[in-house]
Amino acid sequence: MASINRPMRIANIVPILFVALIPLEVYGAEVERISERELGKLPDGRVVKIFTLKNKNGVIVRLSNWGATITEIHIPDKNGKFTNVVVGFDDFERIVKGPTLGSTIGRFANRIAGARFKIDGIEYKVTANSGTNHIHGGRRGFDKVLWDATPLAAKSDRASVQFTYLSPDGEEGYPGNLTVKVTMTLTDDNELQLLYEARTDKATVVNLTNHSYFNLAGYGNVLNHQLLIAANNYTPTDDQLIPTGEIASVKGTPLDFTTPHKIGERIEQLMPRPGGYDHNYVLNREGKPPYFAARLTEPESGRIMEVFTTQPGMQFYTANHFNGKIIGVGGVAFPKHGAICFETQHFPDSPNKPNFPSTVLRPGEKFENTTIFKFSKI
């Protein structure tokens, strides 16, 4: 699903000022599993930071408290060469003012038809920021706010940063004060684990995801990547990408990835609209949670990425809006179909589709979901 570019005016940009290192013990050797640096300050003096997580295998993940964002993931190929496999930025100006890449999306990820919904008979109107519809939490969603960030005490095989944000009652039209926590953990099994938690003081709707753009080659388009998705069904949409409410089989369509296919193999069948893949899959959820959702393989590098989640759905999006103008870390330009999103989620427009899994959260209840991105190689 295309992320929404919502520019903001930010003044008083301050360069990097300090680096704080947290030494930790790993198998008897002291290494720096977590470090942090100041990237700049907002006009109100609050600090935007970058956190670096490392594991024993040399994998590096960088995160920002602006938008609870994944900015870089460096993993090795089959020959041991490390490359950044997500599209992101490493400077204050673009992280804060640029398009949404790798950020946490909320209060409601994906679309809400007509930018309105009802809870217990009461209608709520949220910001219409995609025509007459609502997408990704509104004009100032969770991707465009500064989160509190706390590095957690590392264990012998992992390191974590916990991000916290209080979304006030009425923000973007949503009811209730919503306290959100997102804990991002890098393990020695080369897993990046995302734990989402939320509580409210008034009935509301919640749908949280991460909007990372992956390219396992680190450059070019992703049409040669091979993909398997553990989903026999999907949710068809109208011409505004709003679900019709139907649950349909992928069999016999270009959406069928129940066996591995190259992403570019059938993508032309999806032209001109939606211009590539931009579909919510109804995950099979077989086995034990978190359930296996997808496997992505880049044949030349040998890099493999697997997705596991407790969520019922996943939006598969092929960066249809990219045009070569997004320049990521290291000066890499990403063309059309230059990356892939796996937005684990509840289904789009769930608040208006009673047959979809509910996204209503009530006082006393806890929203909790887990997504894991696991990296390996052939």
Q: For 273-329, how does the pLDDT look when each residue is reduced to its tens digit (9 = 90+)?
A: 889 999 999 999 999 999 999 999 999 999 999 999 999 999 999 999 999 999 999
Structure tokens at 79: 């020959």
Residues with catalytic roles: 211, 343
Helix/strand/coil for 25: strand
From the list 148, 131, 140, 143, the residue with the least C-alpha distance to 174 is 140
Domain with 301 in it: 19-377
Is residue 55 situated within a structural domain?
yes
CA distances from 112 to 33, 178, 207, 241, 278 (A): 40, 19, 11, 10, 16
For residue 154, name the pLDDT band (cuts at 50, 70, 90): confident
Mean predicted confidence (pLDDT) in 349-370:
98
For residue 31, name the pLDDT band (cuts at 50, 70, 90): low
Q: What is the DSSP letter of 64?
A: E
From the list 161, 230, 216, 226, the residue with the least C-alpha distance to 192 is 161
**Spatial separation of the C-alpha atoms in residues 78 and 60, rounded to whole Å:** 17
CA distances from 181 to 104, 147, 165, 199 (A): 11, 9, 7, 9
Mean pLDDT of the chain: 92
Give the model confidence (pLDDT) of 222-277 as tens digits. Answer: 999 999 999 999 999 999 999 999 999 999 999 999 999 999 999 999 999 889 99
Is residue 350 situated within a structural domain?
yes
Domain count of the fold of the chain: 1
Give the model confidence (pLDDT) of 48-83 as tens digits. Answer: 999 999 999 999 999 999 999 999 999 999 999 999
Give the model confidence (pLDDT) of 320-355 as tens digits. Answer: 999 999 999 999 999 999 999 999 999 999 999 999
Q: What is the pLDDT of residue 299?
A: 98
pLDDT, greater one: 19 or 269: 269
Is residue 180 situated within a structural domain?
yes
For residue 11, name the pLDDT band (cuts at 50, 70, 90): very low
Task: Express as a percent the part of the chain with pLDDT over 90.
Answer: 90
Q: Say if CB 216 and CB 226 are below 8 A apart.
A: no
Is residue 301 situated within a structural domain?
yes
Q: What is the pLDDT of residue 13?
A: 33
Partnered with residue 327 across adjacent β-strands are: 333
Q: Say if CB 222 and CB 338 are below 8 A apart.
A: yes
Q: What is the pLDDT of residue 30?
A: 52
CATH of the domain at 201: 2.70.98.10
Is residue 9 situated within a structural domain?
no
Residue type present at position 349? D
Is residue 59 situated within a structural domain?
yes
Is residue 130 situated within a structural domain?
yes
Give the rounded distance of the alpha carbon of 189 from its chain centre: 20
pTM over 0.75: yes
Mean predicted confidence (pLDDT) in 104-131:
98
pLDDT, greater one: 250 or 1: 250
Q: What is the pLDDT of residue 209?
A: 98
Is residue 158 situated within a structural domain?
yes
